[in-house]
Structure 1
Amino acid sequence: MRRAQLPLSLVEVAVGTTLILGVALGFALGTPAPDRQEPQLDAYAADTAAVLANDAPRHDGATRLQEVVSSQGAFDRERDALERRVARILPANVLFRVETPHGTVGTPTPRRVTTGVATVPTGYGRVRITVWYA
């Protein structure tokens, strides 16, 4: 009984062709682009937190953030000024929410959106800053 055998060069051509087509399809179809928004949004949130943590208070306290979170009355008094200040810090196409122990300012965070977050501890509690693209 005689068996038919494929020439080795034909097998090499088939394997090489498959490899080349696989690589070509990989380049043609590509891979999904990485989400580059989150690191930038985290940077916006961290920068905003740093600015607020170093801003001089409007009335009393060591910093603007400490003044805002020192009491419910201070938060109520400074709410609008805090919202205006954060809006001036961030680019126009970035929305925000600042959560303090006494209340929040800004826009409610939508679901299923990429956000950046920074948390700042103060002597009166934590302040959480969330930002996202409009």
Structure 2
Amino acid sequence: MRNRSRERNPGRSRGQLSLPVVEAGVGVLFVVAVATAFAFGTPTGGVSQEAQLDAYAQDAATVLANEPPQHGGSTRLAEVASSEAAFDREAGALENRVSRILPDNLMFRVATPNGAVGFVRPSNVPTGVARVPTGSGEVTVWVWYA
């Protein structure tokens, strides 16, 4: 009769790592990965500060260029660019609208042929800009980080 408990490969024993040793190895790798991420930082994602600011400015200009006017004209921007009286009448509403469109950490200036609203534009910080042509002239939106 044959012995069924015989090994397939006599003289060779199979070894296995214990589960706690494997878990400890994975834990060490995780700690090293986290420490490396803190030491070297994470990539910026390839978007420069100016490009992000340009995107914010373009978004605000697009929203304003597509909004209906409060009193007359084809759009809100066309209305405020049409005359000094229209600009004076709508300047406060325009400033409030732009401040609601943009994130709280941004400052802005919107310049029309008849005046400007917002903050004084600094010369020593990166800014984003967008320009929208209207029938009465160009409207420019600048944004920068506060």
TM-score w.r.t. structure 2 length?
Answer: 0.68
SS of 2:72's partner is coil
- Hey, what's the Cα distance between the residues in 1 that align with 2:140 and 2:78? 13
- Hey, what's the Cα distance between the residues in 2 that align with 1:126 and 1:117? 12
Question: Which structure 1 residue ranges, 5 or more long, are not aligned?
Answer: 1-32
Specify the alignment match of 1:94 in structure 2.
106
1:85 aligns with 2:110: no
Residue 67 of structure 1, aligned match among 79, 100, 103 = 79
- Hey, what's the Cα distance between the residues in 2 that align with 1:49 and 1:110? 20
Specify the alignment match of 1:41 in structure 2.
53
CA offset at residue 127 of structure 1?
0.4
Q: Deviations over 1:46-96 (max 9, x none)?
A: 000100000011111110001111110000000000000000000000000
Aligned residues: 104
- Hey, what's the Cα distance between the residues in 2 that align with 1:125 and 1:36? 30
Residue 115 of structure 1, aligned match among 127, 132, 137 = 127
CA offset at residue 111 of structure 1?
1.8
TM-score w.r.t. structure 1 length?
Answer: 0.74
Amino acid in the other structure paired with 2:63: V
Amino acid in the other structure paired with 1:60: G
Root mean square deviation of aligned Cα: 1.8
CA offset at residue 35 of structure 1?
7.6
Rg (Cα) greater in structure:
2
The sequence identity of aligned pairs, in percent, is 62
SS of 2:140's partner is strand
